[in-house]
Amino acid sequence: MTTTPTLPVSPQGYLSVAKNVGIKDTTLDFTVIYSTVLAAAAGVFTQSLFCGAPIIVGREHLADGHAQALVINSKNANVATGQRGVENARDTARLVAAELRIAPEDVIPSSTGVIGWQLPMDKIRRGIVGLREQLRPDTLGQAAQAIMTTDTRPKLMAKQVGNVVLAGMAKGAGMIEPNMATMLAFLFTDAAIPAATLRPMLQRAVDVSFNMISVDTDTSTSDTVILMANGLAGEVNLAAFQAALNEVCIFLAKEVARDGEGASKLLEVAVSAGRDNRQAKRIAKAVVNSPLIKTAVYGADPNWGRVIMAIGKCHEETDIRPEKVAILFGDTCVFAKGEPQDVDLEALTKYLQAKEVRIAIDLGLGNGQATVWGCDLTEGYVQVNALYTT
């Protein structure tokens, strides 16, 4: 049984309820998170051409920069479900709004799970009845459990910034290769920050966190990151809040990568001295996404030649020169100045047996840098995804 996490501090004015409505099994699969006052809000969504119905509705409802409640279900993504799926997402938001006595456009729906199935609306309607009386404070841990699919554990963090609190939760273990946000992530603060300021702050945080992870190179149809700020704790130093937002998002992003389907290790790839940050990110992603590197990390095989391969296949990066590149596994330099370095392979193998593995690459070109996170590739990934629908 999954242990329900608790937060050391919680933002003011947020209530939630998590329950099972029977979408697929008997685990928690439905949650509503409600702010007692209308909140400024910002969101980042998937760029998938087959985005889910909740994405369509969520974009519309966030257009005015405000939200007061989130309604999230797991076990069913409500993707590729046509106009009926869109209407089901709207209906879910409308029913929750009626229970909470707020405007439907202030409710943001979100779904995650199997693609191509219609939501069981009869079960969801029954689950919404009596919602207002079921809301409780300090229950985000249960909400974090209710949004899980193949996750092995909930992902939750909170941080205090002056008088305000920022809390965040996320889910995701597979279909993770974002190019905007990733998976589902929801952030809540009692800071007073207008939506126009909130949007760029969220994008900056996403760019250094959720946009920097990969499990399997597959971009989800349901990727969503939402940030709500209800203002109940007053104003906050924006620079300090941005730093905290980045920290919380990076923590949650790393937890997603660490909990990748079947994963046994977290893999960090840090590229420095690139021509620019974009080049550094492209190289880092090429390395973290390589099945050959992921399996070598799983098997603790010190085969750094696979890193050479991953860099070399980025043939569009014509300014990269082998004689300028250095590669390190942890603190051990394995390649530099175009040649292999003398290393203790036994010690390197022992390093690769750790639960966290870091590969560093110096391109020797400029000031560009990027750090990305992923995981190893094990037999467990095949087992999870071969039987996902059933």
pLDDT tens sequence across 179-211: 665 579 999 999 999 999 999 999 999 999 999
Residues 249, 228 within the same domain: yes
Read off the amino acid at residue 250.
Answer: I
Is residue 92 in some structural domain? yes
The H or E element containing residue 38 is strand 30-45
How much is the pLDDT for 180?
63
Place of tokens 């997402």: 89
Is residue 8 in some structural domain? no
The H or E element containing residue 312 is helix 305-312
How much is the pLDDT for 183?
77
Read off the tokens for 3.
């242990």
Read off the tokens for 330.
């942890």
Report CA-CA distances (Å) from 195 to 42, 191, 202, 229: 6, 12, 10, 8
Read off the amino acid at residue 180.
Answer: M
Report the number of distinct structural domains present in the chain: 2
How much is the pLDDT for 219?
82
Is residue 181 in some structural domain? yes
For 87-125, how does the pLDDT look when each residue is reduced to its tens digit (9 = 90+)? 999 999 999 999 999 999 999 999 999 999 999 999 999
Burial of 52 from C-beta contacts in 10 A (0-12 / 13-18 / 19+):
buried
How much is the pLDDT for 146?
96
Residues 104, 56 within the same domain: yes
Contact status, residue 91 vs residue 57, Cβ threshold 8 Å: no
- The number of residues making up the chain comes to 390
Q: Under DSSP, is residue 17 helix (H, G, I), strand (E, B) or coil?
A: strand
Residue numbers of the chain with a pLDDT score lower than 70 = 1-2, 179-182, 390
How much is the pLDDT for 5?
84
How much is the pLDDT for 96?
98
Residues 211, 302 within the same domain: no
Picking from 200, 235, 256, the residue at the C-terminal end of a domain is 256
How much is the pLDDT for 181?
57
Residue-number span of the structural domain to which 108 is assigned: 14-256
Residues 240, 362 within the same domain: no
Q: Which CATH number characterizes residue 158's domain?
A: 3.60.70.12
Is residue 2 in some structural domain? no
Residues 218, 356 within the same domain: no
Residues 231, 285 within the same domain: no
Read off the amino acid at residue 169.
Answer: M
Distance (Å, whole) CA 385 – CA 173: 11
Question: In which order are the strands placed within the sheet that holds 332-336?
Answer: 339-340, 332-336, 326-329, 356-362, 266-274, 368-375
Residues 333, 220 within the same domain: no
How much is the pLDDT for 6?
86
Is residue 123 in some structural domain? yes
Nearest to 343, CA basis, from 335, 166, 98, 389:
335
How much is the pLDDT for 176?
81
Picking from 256, 284, 312, the residue at the C-terminal end of a domain is 256
Residues 322, 359 within the same domain: yes
Is residue 4 in some structural domain? no
Burial of 207 from C-beta contacts in 10 A (0-12 / 13-18 / 19+):
middle
Residues 273, 196 within the same domain: no
Query: Can you spell out the DSSP letters for 253-285?
Result: HHHHHHT-TT---EEEEEEEEESSHHHHHHHHH
Nearest to 355, CA basis, from 214, 252, 259:
259
How much is the pLDDT for 182?
56
Residues 49, 30 within the same domain: yes
Picking from 227, 256, 285, the residue at the C-terminal end of a domain is 256
Nearest to 359, CA basis, from 315, 390, 319, 328:
328
How much is the pLDDT for 390?
65
Read off the tokens for 283.
């190289």
Q: Under DSSP, is residue 4 helix (H, G, I), strand (E, B) or coil?
A: coil
Is residue 1 in some structural domain? no
Is residue 122 in some structural domain? yes
Catalytic center residues: 182
Q: Which CATH number characterizes residue 368's domain?
A: 3.10.20.340
Residues 295, 182 within the same domain: no
Place of tokens 């190019």: 179
How much is the pLDDT for 1?
54
Residues 230, 118 within the same domain: yes
Q: Under DSSP, is residue 121 helix (H, G, I), strand (E, B) or coil?
A: helix
